[in-house]
């Protein structure tokens, strides 16, 4: 049986994200420390509220109510103050992925009609983003936090002081169903789209997670995931604030030794991450470094058995795999303590409907459709700037192929776009990668589909294993009862597999790399 969490409370979703911050301060104590920055600066609820009101009062002079304003900052106090500052005065923070490259960012600016971007000189300097900064300045006004702090007026400071006691006098009062945040899809398979989430979407998802997984007021969460990613923003930033859990924020997931040190020093109990990053942290940790952890929660990519076994063996930490999409704010399902099944992403969270539609050529599972209070208002696309296109009848097509067993555990088979059609059969590229990971667990792998004149498509596997041999993979598949269609036609060793800032595989980059390494693949790929 799963550990019992408090029941879902729909009233908690009928607020604004800034209003929920104020109410959380009243509930848990205004002077309670809630956020710890990468430089160890700590803010209480009261300090976070005051800083947000002061900054928001300054920002509203150059922006309009309802306007989307870009936020180009790493995970930390600066990004969260900026989000709450914009929201407090009725602006809509649009979280920009600074690792995506200028072309993707330009598409994001166009889709959401973003004219102003909040960032920081220090961030640009440390991140060596001067070239990106120069390009962005051609398309938007960049507003720097350091400059704003220096230029705060008496009225800005008064809004902060009085607003912390009487926030309703200063803050905007949008509907809970109004846009609250804009995030952008990862662009793993093409140009990113804007995902518009309402206040109710975000707060409902926090409430769904709270009702699904048991948290304690003594828990300390570490969040190294980017705030431009829905998992990092909703679960890593908003959730701890609204549940009264101290959040240790870290600006980059790619600093395993620093993150391990902070877990040890802050006695962190809950680690958020992806499989890629969590496995790095466990390997970087010395004896006792992660002994304070009780849970590690993984999402955004498939959790490998090797990672699960490694953290269990070294630290006896329960690793919960979950599943979500940006369009669902993001959590759709998660394993639970006492109901944790390896290979599954657990049960669907409360108050979500789902259905599995059949797909031609796929015999086990189907296409997952979801509906619920956490499902987005709609998409923004570069070709229709500013126009929110809602999901049809409230149902979002995740594009993922899933199956569900008789006990309600959800199993992700892969994205529909991540299937190759070979001779009329649908072959999961995720299965191809899983087979390679099982045979060569210490290396990274990425499978793509390429045109094949004979069978429609063929599978090519990129791997960081310099000694990878297709024959060895064929033997492994035959010995484990996997269909031979899962054996790639071509195996290409590379030094690195391209990844996005979220830790996900960059399949657009993989396809480009395959072309560079192997040359233009022939229309018919011979069996090697």
Residue 214 CB burial class (10 angstroms; 0-12, 13-18, ≥19): middle
C-alpha to C-alpha distance for 188 and 448, rounded to whole angstroms: 12
Work out the average pLDDT over 206-233. 94
* Residue 519 CB neighbour total at 10 angstroms: 8
Whether 517 shows a pLDDT value over 50: the answer reads: yes
Specify the fold of 423-518. Answer: GMP Synthetase; Chain A, domain 3 (3.30.300)
| Predicted local distance difference test score (pLDDT) of residue 42 | 97
**Of 227-231, 358-362, 371-375, the least confident:** 358-362
Domain 10-404 has what CATH class? Answer: alpha beta
Cα 58 to Cα 88, 150, 156, distances in angstroms: 12, 11, 6
| Residue 188 predicted with pLDDT over 80 | no
Taking the C-alpha atoms of residue 442 and residue 236, their distance in angstroms, rounded to an integer, is 28
| Burial (CB count <10 Å: 0-12, 13-18, 19+), residue 358 | exposed
Contacts of 128 (CB under 8 A, 6+ apart): none
SS3 category, 96: coil
Tell me if the pTM is above 0.85.
no
pLDDT for res 526: 33
Report DSSP state, residue 235.
Answer: I
pLDDT at 520: 43
Topology match between the domains 10-404 and 423-518: no
Does residue 190 register a pLDDT over 60? no
Q: Which two tokens stand for residue 379?
A: 């998409």
pLDDT for the residue 4: 67
Instruction: Give the pLDDT score at 65.
Output: 92
pLDDT at 85 exceeding the cut of 50:
yes
Backbone phi, psi, residue 246, to 5°: -65, 135
Name the pLDDT band for 518 (thresholds 50, 70, 90): low
Distance CA 113, CA 135 (A): 16
pLDDT digits (tens, 9 = 90+) for 427-447: 778 878 888 888 898 888 988
Which pLDDT tens digit goes with each residue over 120-152? Answer: 999 999 999 999 999 999 999 999 999 998 887
Say if residue 56's pLDDT is above 50: yes
- Convert the pLDDT of each residue in 481-499 to its tens digit: 777 777 888 888 888 888 7
CB 514 within 8 A of CB 460: yes
- Token pair of 367, please? 């296409």
- Whether residue 417 is predicted with pLDDT greater than 70 in this model: the reply is no
* Predicted local confidence at residue 455, as pLDDT: 64
Residue 302 clears pLDDT 70, i.e. is over it: yes
* Mean pLDDT, range 325-340, rounded to an integer: 93
Q: What is the pLDDT of residue 343?
A: 83
Bigger pLDDT: 434 or 115? 115
Q: What is the DSSP string of 488-512?
A: -SEEEE-S---B-TTS-B-HHHHHH
The answer on pLDDT for 251 being more than 90 is yes
- Does the pLDDT of residue 332 top 70, yes or no? yes
Residue 207 has pLDDT above 80, yes or no: yes
- Long-range interactions of 309-318: CB distance < 8 A, separation 24+: 310/279, 310/282, 310/283, 311/278, 311/282, 314/282, 314/285, 314/290, 315/282, 315/285, 315/290, 315/291, 317/271, 317/290, 317/293, 318/294
**pLDDT tens-place string over residues 338-349:** 898 888 999 999
- Which runs of consecutive H residues, i.e. helices, occur in 407-504? 429-439, 470-479
Q: Which two tokens stand for residue 122?
A: 């220090």
Who has greater pLDDT, 167 or 214?
214
Residue of 428, 376, 429, 381 lying closest to 398 (CA atoms): 376
Choose from 97-106, 135-144, 379-388 the range with maximum mean pLDDT: 135-144
Tokens matching residue 46: 């009261």
Q: Which tokens is 64 given?
A: 């309009």
Other beta carbons within 10 Å of 449 = 21
- How far is the CA of 244 from the CAs of 138, 199, 253, 367, in angstroms? 41, 19, 23, 37
Is the pLDDT score of 522 beyond 60?
no
Lowest average pLDDT, out of 206-220, 372-386, 445-459, goes to 445-459
Instruction: Give residue 528's pLDDT.
Output: 28
Q: How confident is the model at residue 1 (pLDDT cuts 50, 70, 90)?
A: low
**pLDDT at residue number 523:** 36
Q: Which has more confidence, 426 or 48?
A: 48
Lowest-confidence region among 85-89, 335-339, 480-484 = 480-484
Per-residue confidence (pLDDT) for residue 189, from 0 to 100: 53
Residue 512: the pLDDT is: 77
CA–CA separation, 495 and 439 (whole Å):
18
Q: In this predicted structure, what is the pLDDT of residue 169?
A: 67
d(CA 142, CA 136): 8
Percentages helix, strand, coil for the chain (3-state, rounded to 5) are 35, 25, 40
- Judged by phi (left if over 0) then psi (alpha if -120 to 50, else beta), residue 480 lies in alpha
**Mean predicted confidence (pLDDT) in 389-394:** 93
Give the pLDDT of residue 521: 43
- The per-residue pLDDT for 429 is 82
The residue ranges of every structural domain in the chain are 10-404, 423-518
Give 191 or 487, the one with higher predicted confidence. Answer: 487
> Over 90: is that where the pLDDT of 265 sits?
yes
């Amino acid at each position: 049986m799963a550990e019992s969490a408090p029941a879902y409370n729909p009233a908690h979703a009928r607020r604004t994200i800034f209003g929920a911050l104020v109410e959380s301060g009243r509930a848990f104590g205004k002077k309670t420390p809630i956020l710890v920055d990468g430089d160890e600066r700590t803010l209480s609820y009261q300090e976070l509220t005051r800083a947000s009101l002061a900054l928001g009062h300054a920002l509203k002079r150059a922006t309009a109510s309802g306007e989307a304003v870009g936020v180009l900052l790493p995970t930390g106090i600066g990004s969260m103050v900026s989000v709450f500052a914009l929201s407090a005065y009725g602006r809509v923070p649009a979280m920009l992925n600074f690792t995506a490259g200028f072309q993707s960012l330009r598409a994001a600016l166009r889709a959401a009609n973003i004219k102003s971007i909040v960032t920081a000189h220090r961030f640009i300097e440390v991140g060596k983003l001067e070239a990106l900064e120069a390009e962005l300045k051609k398309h938007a006004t960049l507003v720097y936090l350091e400059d704003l702090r220096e230029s705060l007026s008496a009225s800005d400071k008064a809004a902060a002081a009085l607003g912390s006691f009487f926030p309703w006098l200063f803050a905007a009062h949008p509907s809970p169903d109004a846009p609250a945040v804009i995030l952008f899809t990862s662009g793993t398979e093409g140009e990113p789209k804007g995902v518009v989430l309402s206040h109710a979407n975000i707060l409902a998802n926090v409430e769904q997670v709270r009702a699904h997984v048991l948290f304690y007021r003594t828990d300390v969460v570490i969040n190294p995931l980017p705030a431009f990613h829905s998992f990092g923003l909703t679960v890593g930033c908003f959730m701890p604030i609204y549940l009264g859990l101290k959040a240790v924020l870290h600006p980059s997931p790619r600093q395993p030794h620093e993150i391990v040190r902070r877990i040890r020093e802050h006695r962190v109990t809950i680690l958020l991450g992806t499989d890629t990053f969590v496995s790095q942290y466990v390997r970087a940790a010395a004896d006792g470094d992660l002994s304070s952890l009780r849970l590690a929660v993984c999402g955004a990519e498939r959790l490998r058995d090797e990672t699960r076994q490694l953290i269990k063996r070294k630290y006896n930490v329960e690793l919960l795999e979950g599943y979500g999409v940006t369009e669902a704010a993001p959590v759709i399902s998660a394993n639970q303590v006492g109901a944790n099944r390896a290979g599954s992403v657990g049960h669907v969270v409360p108050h979500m409907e789902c259905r599995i539609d059949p797909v031609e050529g796929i015999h086990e599972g189907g296409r997952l459709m979801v509906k619920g209070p956490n499902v987005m208002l709609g998409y923004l696309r570069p070709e229709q700037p500013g126009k929110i296109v809602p999901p049809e009848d409230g149902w979002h097509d995740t594009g993922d192929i899933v199956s569900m067993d008789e006990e309600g555990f959800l199993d992700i088979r892969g994205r529909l776009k991540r299937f190759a059609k070979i001779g009329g059969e649908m072959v999961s590229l995720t299965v191809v990668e899983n087979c390679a990971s099982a045979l060569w667990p210490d290396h990274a792998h990425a499978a793509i589909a390429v045109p094949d004149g004979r069978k429609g498509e063929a599978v090519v596997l990129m791997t960081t294993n310099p000694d990878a041999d297709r024959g060895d993979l064929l033997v492994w598949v035959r010995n484990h009862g996997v269909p031979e269609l899962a054996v790639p036609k071509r195996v290409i060793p590379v030094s690195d597999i391209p990844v996005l800032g979220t830790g996900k595989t960059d399949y657009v980059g993989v396809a480009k790399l395959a072309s560079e390494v192997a040359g233009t693949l022939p229309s018919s790929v011979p069996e090697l």
